[in-house]
Amino acid sequence: MRTTVGIIGAGPAGLLLARLLHGAGIDSVVLEARDRAYVEHRQRAGILEQGTVDVLRAAGAGARMDREGLRHDGIELRFGRRRHRVDFPALTGGRSVMVYAQTEVCRDLIALRFAEGGPLLFEAEALAVEGADTAAPRVRFRHQGREDVLECDYVAGCDGFWGVSRAAVPAGVSRVFERTYPFGWLGILADVPPSHDELVYARHDRGFALLSMRSPSVSRLYLQVPEGTEPEEWSDEDVWRELERRLGTADDWTLRRGPVTQKSVTPMRSYVHEPMRYGRLFLAGDAAHIVPPTGAKGLNLAVGDVVTLARALAHRKETGSDELLDAYSATCLRRVWQAERFSHDMTALLHRAPDATAFEDRLQLARLERITSSRAAETDLAEAYTGFPLG
Ligand SMILES: Cc1cc2nc3c(=O)[nH]c(=O)nc-3n(C[C@H](O)[C@H](O)[C@H](O)COP(=O)(O)OP(=O)(O)OC[C@H]3O[C@@H](n4cnc5c(N)ncnc54)[C@H](O)[C@@H]3O)c2cc1C
């Protein structure tokens, strides 16, 4: 099998890249290890930055998002049973975010990919990228029990944190920057309308809590839990009671309860692999970097990477110049590090480390007081949350 761009992974990065390349008249083949149902139901991100919304619309993938997504003009911070709203448009000159689940973004892009004639191969697991530093890279993969080879001009490693692409970069070339956190997020999905019309980020002495949503009738809620916690350790009743404690306010706000349909634990990690390019292999999205979800940046970073890559490949096709491909890694990493910084700062601002001292608790509260009393500090948060410029 032969194509111009071999794309490994049909997450948001791989699917959007395929769509953008199609728009530029560049052919590609997408290989995805899992089946279609798995990819379309995997619960993950839900906040789209303004820039991501604009890209999806321009790619012709925004129709259902515009109908069913929820535009949010702010978030609420809670600490000491107080509430403070951060008003995005007022602080950023009109920017907002969109609540539209990653599952839906993937569903829309998969439908478009099949409508335009594919190729998108499910249950096609890439085994290795070979010859990344040559003019003829290849992806070895297994599909329907048979091994095959995809010959390409370029390979896009969009296969997430646990994929195989990154392993094709020799150890002597790679540099990894990493931090793990001594806690994770216990997330539930519940069939109940959200108890607030915007996301609520709560700092509490017992740990962080987040009230979020997937739709007007489905709530997504999270609790900070110790690293290594298993979802079964928490009964539904325990989860609701703890959410009530951490999200509680001094006024008459109450948390609506409903049937829990999913429960899972997400570990927290910051990770950057440099460079994001080796020869003709380009890493994009979680294959190259991970952020803790507190800043809602993971999916948006993946979108930024593939916009940059698609533009560089289109430039190569039109002009024959490698200039933008050569700049790919540095261009992406500038934005990646801003998102890493913001995600780390939001995590440190709102979570309680198991070994936190009374001094650190006071500093955390002082930072929150600063954000709620200084327009400059609040603007910094609002600008980062609504997104850094793409590309
Ligand atoms: C549990 C969880 C919760 C999250 N919550 C949030 C959130 O609230 N907000 C936020 O912004 N971000 C969140 N994220 C991060 C966000 O979901 C990711 O940043 C985003 O999915 C990155 O997209 P991607 O396409 O780079 O990678 P992925 O979505 O991981 O897609 C990679 C794809 O590659 C496939 N693949 C892997 N290996 C191979 C192989 N060898 N061959 C072929 N295919 C392969 C995988 O099956 C997968 O479909 C969360 C992540 C997780 C894991």
Using the mean position of ligand 1's atoms as its centre, give its distance from the Cα of residue 11 in Å. Answer: 6
Task: State percent of the chain over pLDDT 90.
Answer: 96
pLDDT digits (tens, 9 = 90+) for 269-324: 999 999 999 999 999 999 999 999 999 999 999 999 999 999 999 999 999 999 99
- Would you call 293 a catalytic residue per the annotation? yes
Burial 54-76 (b: 16+ CB within 10 A, else e): bbbeebebbeebeeebbebbbbb
Q: For residue 81, count other CB atoms closer than 10 A to its CB.
A: 13
Per-residue pLDDT band for 42 (boundaries 50, 70, 90) equals confident
pLDDT given for residue 387 in this prediction: 92
Q: What is the reported pLDDT for 122?
A: 97
Does the beta carbon of 160 sit less than 6 angstroms from any atom of ligand 1? yes
Alpha-carbon dihedral 292, 266, 249, 254, rounded to 10 degrees? 140
Confidence of residue 214 (pLDDT cuts 50, 70, 90): confident
Q: How confident is the model at residue 388 (pLDDT cuts 50, 70, 90)?
A: confident
Ligand 1 pocket, residue 265 CB under 6 Å = no
- pLDDT, position 340: 97
Domain 5-74+96-177+269-346 adopts which CATH fold?
FAD/NAD(P)-binding domain (3.50.50)
pLDDT of residue 181: 95
CA of 361 from ligand 1 middle (Å) equals 33
Domain locations in the chain?
5-74+96-177+269-346
CA of 160 to the centre of ligand 1 (A): 5
Measured CA to CA, the distance from residue 73 to residue 11 in angstroms comes to: 27
pLDDT tens sequence across 142-171: 998 999 999 999 999 999 999 999 999 999
Ligand 1, from 41, 159, 189, 272: best to mutate by most atoms within 8 Å of Cβ?
A: 159
The confidence band for 391, taking pLDDT boundaries of 50, 70 and 90, is: low
Q: Is 26 in the pocket of ligand 1 (CB under 6 A)?
A: no
Q: Is 305 in the pocket of ligand 1 (CB under 6 A)?
A: no
CB of residue 156 inside a 6 A radius of ligand 1: no
Residue 330, CA atoms < 13 Å, CB-side half-sphere: 5
pLDDT of residue 209: 98
Q: Which pLDDT value is given to residue 268?
A: 94
Q: Which atom of ligand 1 is nearest to the CA of 266?
A: 1
Question: With a 6 A CB cut-off, is 125 part of the ligand 1 pocket?
Answer: yes
**How does the average pLDDT of the chain come out, rounded?**
96
**328 included as an active-site residue:** no
How much distance in Å is there from the Cα of 367 to the middle of ligand 1? 31
Confidence of residue 368 (pLDDT cuts 50, 70, 90): very high
Count the Cβ atoms, other than its own, within 10 Å of residue 147: 9
| Ligand 1 centroid – CA 79 distance (Å) | 31
Interval between CA 332 and ligand 1 midpoint (Å): 18
User: Hey, which of 283, 299, 343 would you mutate to test ligand 1's pocket, going by the most ligand atoms within 8 Å of its Cβ?
Assistant: 299
Catalytic option among 72, 196, 204, 273? 72
Is 72 designated active site? yes
- The tens digit of pLDDT for each residue in 58-113 reads 999 999 999 999 999 999 999 999 999 999 999 999 999 999 999 999 999 999 99
Q: How many CB atoms lie within 10 A of CB 15?
A: 28
The active-site residue, picked from 100, 297, 328, 351, is 297
**What predicted TM-score, i.e. pTM, was given to this entire model?**
0.95
Closest atom of ligand 1 relative to the 212 alpha carbon: 8
Any ligand 1 atom below 6 A from CB of 6: no
Nearest protein CA to atom 51 of ligand 1, as residue: 44
User: Over 80: is that where the pLDDT of 390 sits?
Assistant: no
Tokens of 90: 């007022």
pLDDT tens per residue, range 16-31: 999 999 999 999 999 9
Report residue 12's pLDDT band, with 50, 70 and 90 as the boundaries: very high
- List pLDDT tens digits, range 238-280: 999 999 999 999 999 999 999 999 999 999 999 999 999 999 9
